A = this chain, B = another copy of it.
């Protein structure tokens, strides 16, 4: 690892001395699963350093993993304008990011993982206005979906204009669906897995461009810890008929005890597939399959890893005066890498 660092930095020095001599100073806003994941990811990226974590909790109650960084109250962030190159905002998409990202983009280069697909255009506009006004660079919706899946949809559709794109999710934990089940009376704990249907994946990969209903693409599997004496039949019925969440899917409900839940279902795995099939040739005679697949043992840590690579690109874009809001679709792949363009061409192209 040390040899790799030296090589990378030496090469960088030849082409961009400022970039190589300076560590990218990172702040983290919000210290939940995602914020902790960002902190861990920074340790794997030797050109970045964590300066500060900002929290809405009492800073004294928040123990972080990086000795050289401090923990501060969220509203103290205004004092850090000259200390932080990029702020990674680790709030939630429903109530935090819609106001946080515009507010902090007015002070810092920022990255967020805003993932409410339908709200992206409005979020982009607000963040863009704030960032342009302040002369900062702000990348929204970095992660894997939106994020790496989006990139793969764009590449594959651009290369194969005649075709169909499919996205499958899972096998993985859906927090939203797990929470919905937990709100049912008699449920102590619940964990919901979204599972892609193998036969649907096979049909897509065959190039037959099938039309697939919601029910045909994914099944749902729910593990429930019920209260003593609760009626499992009633809980099951309430789950499988729940509108927006389960009624359109084939759902299996399994009742387990608390120990089993803790032992077998404490992880937050996820992943999925973006598959495009398309045809080329004068009479569309040749068929192609482009498939991108993620299998993640920790959804928040992988998302955090994307955020850190994107933070590097955000810093570089800010140096190149590329101001305003961006998405991961606007970032050249080379900008995400710690390696110089020369090294990338030599070793990765």
Q: Are A293 and B293 neighbours in the complex by a CB distance under 8 Å?
A: yes
Q: Mark A152-176, 1 if CB is under 8 A from B, else 0.
A: 1111011111100000000000000
Q: Are B291 and A154 neighbours in the complex by a CB distance under 8 Å?
A: no
Q: Are B280 and A348 neighbours in the complex by a CB distance under 8 Å?
A: no
Interface locus among A130-138, A220-228, A240-248, A302-310: A302-310
Residues in chain B near residue A331, CB distance under 8 A: 332
Instruction: Give Cα A81 to B239, complex, Å.
Output: 67
A346 within 8 A of B: yes
Q: Are A348 and B288 neighbours in the complex by a CB distance under 8 Å?
A: no
A330 within 8 A of B: yes
Copies of this chain in its oligomeric complex = 2
Q: Are A330 and B334 neighbours in the complex by a CB distance under 8 Å?
A: yes
A contact residues, range: 35 or more
Instruction: Give Cα A73 to B159, complex, Å.
Output: 29
Closest residue of B by beta carbon distance from A41: B280
A45 within 8 A of B: yes
Residue in B148, B152, B305, B332 whose CB lies within 8 Å of A329: B332
Q: Are B289 and A120 neighbours in the complex by a CB distance under 8 Å?
A: no
CB proximity of A295 to chain B, nearest CB, Å: 4
Residues in chain B near residue A65, CB distance under 8 A: 282
CB proximity of A333 to chain B, nearest CB, Å: 5
Q: Are B291 and A292 neighbours in the complex by a CB distance under 8 Å?
A: yes
Residue in B287, B295, B298, B328 whose CB lies within 8 Å of A289: B295
Residues in chain B near residue A292, CB distance under 8 A: 152, 291-293
CB proximity of A334 to chain B, nearest CB, Å: 4
Q: Are B281 and A289 neighbours in the complex by a CB distance under 8 Å?
A: no
Residue in B117, B287, B296, B328 whose CB lies within 8 Å of A297: B287
CB proximity of A91 to chain B, nearest CB, Å: 19
CB proximity of A65 to chain B, nearest CB, Å: 6
Instruction: Give Cα A141 to B288, complex, Å.
Output: 21
Closest residue of B by beta carbon distance from A312: B158
CB proximity of A150 to chain B, nearest CB, Å: 5
Instruction: Give Cα A156 to B349, complex, Å.
Output: 13
A286 within 8 A of B: yes
Q: Are B304 and A280 neighbours in the complex by a CB distance under 8 Å?
A: yes
User: Using a CB-CB cutoff of 8 Å, which residues 330-349 of chain A contact chain B?
Assistant: 330-334, 336-338, 341-342, 344-346, 348-349
A-B contact pairs, 21 of them (CB 8 A): A40-B280, A43-B282, A44-B161, A117-B349, A120-B346, A120-B349, A154-B336, A155-B333, A157-B337, A160-B305, A161-B338, A205-B295, A280-B298, A287-B297, A288-B294, A288-B297, A291-B292, A293-B293, A329-B333, A329-B349, A330-B341
